[in-house]
Structure 1
Amino acid sequence: MVTAVAALALIAASTGIATEARADPVVVITLTGSGATSSATSGVSIDGSTVTITAPGDYQLSGTLADGRILVQATEADDVNLIFNGISIANSTGPAISITIARTVTVTLPAGTDNTLSDAESYPAAENANAALFSTEDMTITGTGSLSVRGNYRDGIAGKDTLTIESGTIDVIASDDGIRGKDYLHLTGGSITVTASSHGLTSTNKSDPALGYISIDGGTVDVTAGADCLHAVTDITVAGGSQTLSCGDDAVHGGSTVSVSAGTVDITRSAEGLEALQVLLSGGTVTVTSTDDGINTVEDGLVEGAVSIRALAEVSGGTVVVNAGTDGFDSNGSIEFSGGVTVVNGPVTGTTDEAALDANGAITFSGGTVLAAGILGSTREPAASSVQGFLDATFGAVQPPGTIVHIVSDAGTDLATFRSNKQFRGLVFSSDQIIARQTY
């Protein structure tokens, strides 16, 4: 347990706000099973097992509510800090925590504390919340303790404005979406595990094109989802951290752009790995296992076979490894390789519409190393405008899994060795060692 005095130091450490600037002491709220007590004479009201916070400040909560809730109903000018100092809250009629009025809310998880929240399986029709931990205001989760959330009704953690997770060990099991930040979801650290029947992490603002995005700068994320693991209306940006994703549908789905510049994205199960209008891979490591396309860039509304001038799959850096059931890369626009290392194991059967590299527009090579194999290496010959050389080979017969291919220059220099993990017939290879019109 953390004392009120110790909590002041914790607040300063986790939020960067000097405690001496706070005029009021930490309010201590003790949950007693079927009720609660408070050290404050104002700003907190207790009605049976419902605790309502109506003033700004720091509130340290500890103990158990077997069937109750915490409500935050302050003013739009108030900042509220909820310190979860070892709490267990279950509610049979709605959310465990419901934040409806404040300027900002911080949920602080002190070191060494374990905290659990669980909501009802059904809510009254008048209830606007849809998650065990629900906020209509900007919410930040920080601290190094743990938080376990069971979203029995719909979502586990939901913020209708912005949601930032800075740190903590967070485990969510949800009947619908795991963690939702409507305006945006920003992860900078922590260890996050999500098991969700629908989407794992999601941002859903459709009214403002500058919002509805997911940004991941750090932390460890492990998601198992029935639908998409990461789903955003606009963009998904990965600039750090480690993501392990097992998904029933797309692993990473952005309505506009998916970009990876650093960190690790390991997709162990998916229908499609990364899907957006544009997928831009400039760094980090991306590993994709998919039953359909590994990386898919598509412009909605185009007729079948039309060439999009907006859709783009681009690898300019990092390491990309794809094992796809159908196309390895599929774009109804263009595919561009300018850096990094890309290895693709594409479809083992199919028509001329399925290949390791499949584009309605151009496939170009200007840098990096690319080795792509499948029933076809590519659906079209790489563009003559490619400034880097390439090989586009078709074998006389299908090669079995485990086949080792050596790419050797006419002078006998070994340029690359590839061992297939499944059968293939076509192969595309490009690197700065390939010179146009030479024999290999």
Structure 2
Amino acid sequence: MRKKLAIALMSIAILAGCSNGTATEESAGNETTTVQGSTASYTESAANAATDLTMADLAEFDDEDTNADWSADGATTISLNGSGATISGSGATEADGSVTITAAGTYILSGTLEDGQIVVEAGKEDLVRLVLNGVDLTDADNAPIYVKSADKTVITLAAGTTNTVTDGSEYVLEADADEPSAAIFSKDDLSINGSGSLTVNANYNDGITSKDDLLIASGTITVTAADDGIVGRDLLAVQEASITIEAVGDGMKSTNDEDADKGVVAIASGTFTINAGADGIQAETTLLIDGGTFDVTTGGGSANAEVKTEQGPGGMGMGQGFGGGQGGQGFTGERPEGTTGEPPEGMGERPDGQTMPQGTDGQAMSEAATDTADSQDAGTDESTSAKSLKAGVNLIVNDGTITIDSKDDAIHSNGSATVNGGEITIKAGDDAAHADGTLTIAGGKLDIQSSYEGLEGTAIVVSGGEIDVTASDDGVNASGTDPLLTISGGYLTVNASGDGLDSNGSIAMTGGTVIVNGPTNDGNGPLDYDGTFELSGGVLIAAGSSGMAQSTSDDSSQASIIMTFSAAQEAGTLVHLEDSQGNTIATFAPAKSYSSIVISSPDLKQGESYTLYSGGTSGGTATDGLYADGTYSGGTKVVEFTLESVATWINESGVTTANSGFGMGGGMGGGMGGGGRGDRQQADQSQQTEQQTAQ
């Protein structure tokens, strides 16, 4: 198991460092797509080495971890009487109100200890079982349960019993000692099982801590902690338990940041209600969720997040053309034949002479700063992080019902993050799902009800699942080094105030369904990419503003059209596209006002004629604004045209040229000269005017 995990982590590191600099091939399902002119280097086979982990690969529950049966025969009974204890059997002694256990065996505890400890100080090969058979343990200045030494200590919560452990707000420790640091504290392996309940009131620091492995097989556990709730240094593994945590710091965590195969949190099943001031569930290396029901709130929830706005001059997206944008000055909007993606000499310079990086704009620069802060987060004080599910290297969700209300990112990995299944509902103050490396959505259902950005990663792979994104900025954002967005399957809907689909590199789509309700301001676009958007399969509908509108790339193998309207259309106004035989290609009702729409379907054929209508009604059934079946009627014919190229631009007059501003790859309307800065300022002013009018 350790070897497989180590190999997986190594694969992530290799993946993060790959770059071929020219063209790439991405495996999407059984297909391979070559993306020209991109420096991205994602390969699905490499990612799979890190995404196919299950509970069995990370944690093993032995018989002593899960077996909650016990008998008084041959056991030592410890009857607590307030100030001391009566002991029947061997292996334990009482002195000064505390009980010390020095040998392997089963110890049955009952009664109340008003100010004292249960100390386990057995041999390094000894297995010690503590049966909590209705106890109330309190220690005013130390850990009520303190395992100093043993091979493993198992705490069994006797059926039908209620057990309480409470410490004080200050500990009296030996000179230069920093432990114990939790109400239940173990220096060696610790396991908890049984069908009884355990309440931990941790007034000093953490609730339950093991400096080695902590395995929770069953039981009903409630922890209130002055800092972290439940901590396993090397491994925290849970199955079948019911856990409720109220923590000022992190809810559940692992802390070993020195060993690549440790610092793991693995959850097979159970019920978890976590309200944490900092991170909800955090692993230094791998966080795995195989199943369970989760309700996680961090930092007071998304309503408590800082308000974020786009920053920077903007308008310098590099793509297939250099465009001044609407109102731009000094640029033709077309790239001279044979030129590369580099801007003309002298363009894009700041007043201080510093050259802005190729393919960036003010938004990207702001995102880069945010990404840097995220990647540095693992080593900072936890008060700066209030993420719900967080991993230092690899995060995998295979199944489960997960509800998140997060002040910061909901799902976050400093390496890779993968959702293979489950039902996840998210309200996030920052990103709904973020990975510094590869973010993969292969299955499951993600309902992102609110976020700053929906999906963010260097490489984003959508190969399955149902994803519904609502974002106050970008819906899907591939950024960082060698960014690439790959869509090969699944069903993705985006409602974004910023860019709908955004890649600072390229986009490749080979299958699936994507519906974008993009921005209403011209400072962003439904689609935004700096390299290419090669489309060879699937259904794409993307509506929104037109100031920075882009279509797919000319070297796509599946055709698309982009319609730009001379005036904004009201939200809900149908767009209907049909072929010359009257067959429906698409009928769509955008959720917001729009002045451009991209439609791509396998039914579009280059060289054939089509008619686009506006308004009217459909007798079909709408899902996310896209109508299936039914008869369309009552609309106004806007334009009839022939699909001349694989990416055809049209307006009310017919086929037209690509957007001479920010279209066709974003253009370069920017730097501090020309139209880019002015366009962004104008868009920002327009957006502010819209907001003031709405208010």
Pairing 1:2-401 to 2, within 5 Å after superposition? 15-16=66-67, 25-40=74-89, 42-126=90-174, 128-248=179-299, 249-276=386-413, 277-298=415-436, 311-331=437-457, 333-347=458-472, 354-360=473-479, 361-375=483-497, 376-380=499-503, 382-383=507-508, 384-385=533-534, 387-391=536-540, 393-396=542-545
Q: How many residues align?
A: 399
Counterpart of 2:77, as a letter, is V
Instruction: Write out per-residue CA displacement over residues 315-340 of structure 1, whole angstroms, 9 at most, x where no aligned residue.
Output: 11110111343211111x11111111
1:37, 1:268 → 2: CA distance?
48
Tell me if structure 2 keeps the 8 A contact 1:173–1:196: yes
Counterpart of 2:490, as a letter, is G
Tell me if structure 1 keeps the 8 A contact 2:229–2:247: yes
Change in Cα spacing, 1:334 to 1:408, as seen in structure 2 (3 Å) is: farther
Instruction: Write out per-residue CA displacement over residues 271-328 of structure 1, whole angstroms, 9 at most, x where no aligned residue.
Output: 1111102110111111211111111111xxxxxxxxxxxx111111110111343211
Counterpart of 1:215, as a letter, is A
Tell me if structure 2 keeps the 8 A contact 1:393–1:426: no
1:321, 1:204 → 2: CA distance?
30
Change in Cα spacing, 1:44 to 1:13, as seen in structure 2 (3 Å) is: closer
1:338, 1:19 → 2: CA distance?
48
Q: State the percentage of identical aligned residues.
A: 32
Instruction: Write out per-residue CA displacement over residues 375-394 of structure 1, whole angstroms, 9 at most, x where no aligned residue.
Output: 22122373245553242524
Instruction: Write out per-residue CA displacement over residues 189-215 of structure 1, whole angstroms, 9 at most, x where no aligned residue.
Output: 111000000100000001111000100
Partner of residue 303, structure 1: none
SS at match of 1:258: strand
Change in Cα spacing, 1:241 to 1:408, as seen in structure 2 (3 Å) is: farther
2:442, 2:108 → 1: CA distance?
48
2:448, 2:394 → 1: CA distance?
19
Partner of residue 320, structure 2: none
SS at match of 1:272: coil
Counterpart of 1:285, as a letter, is E
Q: CA deviation at 1:269?
A: 3.1
Q: What residue ranges of structure 2 are gaps of 5+ in the alignment?
A: 1-62, 300-385, 509-532, 548-569, 611-625, 627-695
Structure with greater proportional strand content: 1
1:315, 1:224 → 2: CA distance?
26
2:248, 2:597 → 1: CA distance?
39
2:254, 2:597 → 1: CA distance?
37
Change in Cα spacing, 1:369 to 1:226, as seen in structure 2 (3 Å) is: same
SS at match of 1:367: coil
1:425, 1:49 → 2: CA distance?
74
Tell me if structure 2 keeps the 8 A contact 1:73–1:101: yes
Pairing 1:397-416 to 2, within 5 Å after superposition? 410=578, 411-412=583-584
2:575, 2:491 → 1: CA distance?
13
Tell me if structure 2 keeps the 8 A contact 1:294–1:323: no
Q: CA deviation at 1:16?
A: 4.4
2:597, 2:148 → 1: CA distance?
56
1:131, 1:196 → 2: CA distance?
13
2:86, 2:435 → 1: CA distance?
56
Counterpart of 1:357, as a letter, is V
Counterpart of 2:410, as a letter, is G
Instruction: Write out per-residue CA displacement over residues 205-258 of structure 1, whole angstroms, 9 at most, x where no aligned residue.
Output: 011110001001000011000000011100110101111100011011100111
Instruction: Write out per-residue CA displacement over residues 352-378 of structure 1, whole angstroms, 9 at most, x where no aligned residue.
Output: xx4101112111111111111202212
Counterpart of 1:27, as a letter, is T
TM-score of the two chains, using structure 2 as the length reference: 0.54
Q: What residue ranges of structure 1 are gaps of 5+ in the alignment?
A: 1-11, 299-310, 348-353
Tell me if structure 2 keeps the 8 A contact 1:70–1:96: yes
Change in Cα spacing, 1:379 to 1:43, as seen in structure 2 (3 Å) is: same
Change in Cα spacing, 1:391 to 1:29, as seen in structure 2 (3 Å) is: same
Counterpart of 1:242, as a letter, is T
Deviation >4 Å, runs of 4+:
12-20, 402-409, 413-418, 423-430, 436-440
Change in Cα spacing, 1:177 to 1:141, as seen in structure 2 (3 Å) is: same
Partner of residue 5, structure 1: none
Change in Cα spacing, 1:416 to 1:271, as seen in structure 2 (3 Å) is: farther
Tell me if structure 2 keeps the 8 A contact 1:364–1:385: no
Worse-matched range after superposition: 65-74 or 314-323: 314-323
Change in Cα spacing, 1:427 to 1:63, as seen in structure 2 (3 Å) is: farther
Tell me if structure 2 keeps the 8 A contact 1:391–1:428: no
1:273, 1:107 → 2: CA distance?
32
Instruction: Write out per-residue CA displacement over residues 116-159 of structure 1, whole angstroms, 9 at most, x where no aligned residue.
Output: 00112111241520000111111110000000001111000001
Aligned-residue Cα RMSD (Å) equals 2.9
TM-score of the two chains, using structure 1 as the length reference: 0.84
Tell me if structure 2 keeps the 8 A contact 1:30–1:63: yes
1:17, 1:290 → 2: CA distance?
39
- Larger RCO (CA within 8 A; separation ≥ 6): 2
2:239, 2:418 → 1: CA distance?
21
- CA radius of gyration, larger in: 2
Change in Cα spacing, 1:436 to 1:181, as seen in structure 2 (3 Å) is: farther
Q: CA deviation at 1:395?
A: 2.0
Worse-matched range after superposition: 318-327 or 135-144: 318-327
Tell me if structure 2 keeps the 8 A contact 1:242–1:265: yes
Counterpart of 1:317, as a letter, is G
1:63, 1:427 → 2: CA distance?
73
2:603, 2:226 → 1: CA distance?
56
Counterpart of 1:250, as a letter, is K
